[in-house]
Structure 1
Amino acid sequence: MRLPRAVIGSPFHLLLLVSSFALAGYAGVRLLEDDWFGVALWFVGSAVLHDLVLLPLYGTADQVLLRGCEAAGRRTWVSYVRVPAALSLLLLLVWFPLISGRVADRYTSATGLSADGFAARWLLITALLFGGSAAVFVLRRRRASKERT
């Protein structure tokens, strides 16, 4: 019986892997040197918030969307809603403090820039994502109908 070979990859791949671990280690050391307890608390809190609150919420929303499309006999339409919604929610999650305006003063004092307009920009990006998805949907439906005839 032959043992499986370890997949290491090319020397270039190995160099990139070691370099990325070195960079991540350096970033971790720099991040933890000032307020290690606050950073650790933030990591644990965000993991708990994601696993106990956000995951059930977007899992349930996805199931509702999937069942609604299945009931209409249009299961293939799910991705045209799922992808822009996921990207929009990810942007909301990342930029929520500035979108909500809760840290506008801190942002202005740290950067010298105004924190106004983040909510409007997020809404514009969300509209563009859904609009682009709708355009792709319409183009693919037209192409499919032309191929049938």
Structure 2
Amino acid sequence: MRRALAAWERVYGADPLHLLALVGCFALVAAVVRQVADEPSWWWMLVWFVGAIVAHDLVTYPLYALADRSLVLGRWAWRRRTHRTAPRVGVVDHLRLPAMGSVLLLVVFWPSISRAGEPVLLFAAGRTTTDYLDRWLWVTAGLFLLSAVVYAARLGRPVRDRPD
């Protein structure tokens, strides 16, 4: 079995689960295209999708990659200047995850947070957007607090010897 997996990875370049996930994604895209094919505004959906990809790849990705590299290099420079060793629990991931969650929520709920979508929400659900900014700030604070608690718990956990 191991030889077959090794041969598969040598030929394909990744685990068989990668291929399964890829086939599943293509099946999902095919189902969506089938549903949208009769829609008269399918062209604008395609334009929006391609625009989102281009905006992500050319604008957003370089910005958050630069922020992440700055955080990692700043941590490295601080350790080098203070002659400290790397901590046994890294802090970068405990900042990355809540920041990504917060930004994702901001992007998804931006029309409600910025109150630009108030007429639509009022018409569709009979609700106003008055509390969305406060709720987003509370969720963001909760994400960072939860991450800090997990980080503190990981720092307090005794170090176990890893088998080589």
What TM-score comes out, normalization by structure 2 length? 0.69
Is 1:89 the equivalent of 2:94? no
Counterpart for residue 83 of structure 2 = none
Q: How many residues align?
A: 138
Is 1:136 the equivalent of 2:150? yes
Q: Which amino acid aligns with 1:38?
A: W
**Distance in 2 of aligned mates of 1:34 and 1:97:** 25
Is contact 1:66–1:78 with CA below 8 Å preserved after alignment? yes
Q: Which amino acid aligns with 1:93?
A: V
Any unmatched runs of 5+ in structure 1? none
SS of the residue corresponding to residue 128 of structure 2 reads: coil
Counterpart for residue 64 of structure 1 = 70
**Distance in 2 of aligned mates of 1:24 and 1:46:** 16
Counterpart for residue 111 of structure 1 = 125
Is contact 1:69–1:77 with CA below 8 Å preserved after alignment? no
**Distance in 2 of aligned mates of 1:122 and 1:102:** 16
**Distance in 2 of aligned mates of 1:24 and 1:37:** 15
Q: 1:125 to 1:8 in 2, by over 3 A?
A: closer
SS of the residue corresponding to residue 72 of structure 1 reads: helix
**Distance in 2 of aligned mates of 1:110 and 1:30:** 23
In the TM superposition, what whole-angstrom CA distance separates every residue of 1:17-64 from its partner, at most 9, and x where no partner exists? 5xx92x654433334514112211111111111111101110101011
- Give aligned-pair identity as a percent: 34
SS of the residue corresponding to residue 129 of structure 2 reads: coil
**Distance in 2 of aligned mates of 1:102 and 1:122:** 16
What TM-score comes out, normalization by structure 1 length? 0.75
SS of the residue corresponding to residue 114 of structure 1 reads: coil
**Distance in 1 of aligned mates of 2:45 and 2:78:** 47
Any unmatched runs of 5+ in structure 2? 80-85
Structure 1: 4+ residue segments shifted above 4 A:
2-9
